[in-house]
Amino acid sequence: MAYFDHIIACNRHDLSRFRPFVVDGAVIGRIRHDVAHRLAQYPEVFRVNRDGVTLHPLLASPDERTLAVNEVAADLNRDWGTPALRGEMYRVAVQFGAAPLMSIDRGVVSLFGIRAFGVHVNGIVRRPEGEFLWIGRRAADKSVAPGALDNMVAGGQPSGLTLFDNLLKEAAEEADVPPALAATARPVGAVSYCMEDEWGLKPDVMYCYDLELPDAFVPRNTDGEIDEFTLMSVVEVARLVRDTNRFKFNVNLVIIDFLIRHGYLSPDTEPAYLDLIAGLRRGEG
């Protein structure tokens, strides 16, 4: 394997299988053609043609759109086996921070090909012998990547929270990081990718943070999503990313970004250095 294999894996998609999803004149997602045909059975909510899918013009407010789309998503899950609703709402907008057009349940974000956002925190411990990262192992009952290795803290961005507030929430739930310590995390950029999953498209963005931790700190999971934490040297983490698929698919990208920013990968030692830099910030298409 090689580091770039993870970039390739997270950007496998064929846009010819999808058509645009347009809300209030803006393309906010892409819907697979077979899903679009199903949505055509709900003309009071969706207008479907060869060129795309739009919402009924009478659905004029964000709340009306949210209710109507999520009701259809619940029907599709019951009648067709599409992903179930998870009870956590994601904000839908033309770009992050813009006025919301609607909200959508986390479970069906990829069904509509809507860009989702999240926060990922690298938990760093500095010792005389080098840098270390706290690495979590995802619970065996997780619906996505059960048992895979993960960042110390990572979570999707729900409606109604700022990124900073979400970071504090996820840090407390996933690793029992005190708020004052979590608040010292530094925003260091973002990683993006676009991949197909079983039902749709994931054009996702992960906001990355570095959090330096005292040597005495030991993370403790409180929400049941992480089975255990292990403190690993950055050199060992880099080897696992380069040589294995033990990390959750998108976490590999966050760690590659960390390795570049902290000088563990350089243009003299990594032949794909420029390809990695470009590949970490791919959008749709």
Q: What is the pLDDT of residues 191-243, one digit of tens each?
A: 999 999 999 999 999 999 999 999 999 999 999 999 999 999 999 999 999 99
Look up the CATH number of domain 15-112: 3.30.750.160
Report the percentage of the chain scoring pLDDT > 90. Answer: 96
Q: Is it the case that residue 282 has pLDDT exceeding 90?
A: no
Cβ–Cβ < 8 Å for 156, 248: no
CATH superfamily of 3-11+116-279: Nucleoside Triphosphate Pyrophosphohydrolase (3.90.79.10)
Nearest of 37, 18, 40 to residue 29 by alpha carbon = 18
Lookup: tokens for 47? 């207008």
- Which amino acid would we find at residue 203? P
- Sequence-ordered alpha helix ranges (H) in 56-162: 62-80
| pLDDT, the chain, mean | 96
- Which amino acid would we find at residue 58? L
Q: Where are the domains of the chain?
A: 3-11+116-279, 15-112
Q: Is it the case that residue 108 has pLDDT exceeding 50?
A: yes
Report the percentage of the chain scoring pLDDT > 70. Answer: 99
Q: Give the number of other CB atoms < 10 A from CB of residue 158.
A: 17
Q: Any long-range contacts for 137-142 (C-beta under 8 Å, 24+ apart)?
A: 137/226, 137/227, 137/228, 137/229, 137/230, 138/225, 138/226, 138/227, 138/248, 139/224, 139/225, 139/226, 139/227, 140/227, 142/225
pLDDT, tens digit (0-9, with 9 covering 90-100), for 270-281: 999 999 999 999
pLDDT at residue 285, as a whole number: 44
pLDDT at residue 1, as a whole number: 82
Give the model's confidence band at 251: pLDDT under 50 very low, under 70 low, under 90 confident, else very high: very high
pLDDT, tens digit (0-9, with 9 covering 90-100), for 157-197: 999 999 999 999 999 999 999 999 999 999 999 999 999 99
Nearest of 138, 97, 140, 131 to residue 115 by alpha carbon = 97
pLDDT, tens digit (0-9, with 9 covering 90-100), for 36-69: 999 999 999 999 999 999 999 999 999 999 999 9
Mean pLDDT, residues 68-85 = 97
d(CA 26, CA 35): 20
pTM: 0.95
Q: Do the domains spanning 3-11+116-279 and 15-112 agree at the CATH topology level?
A: no
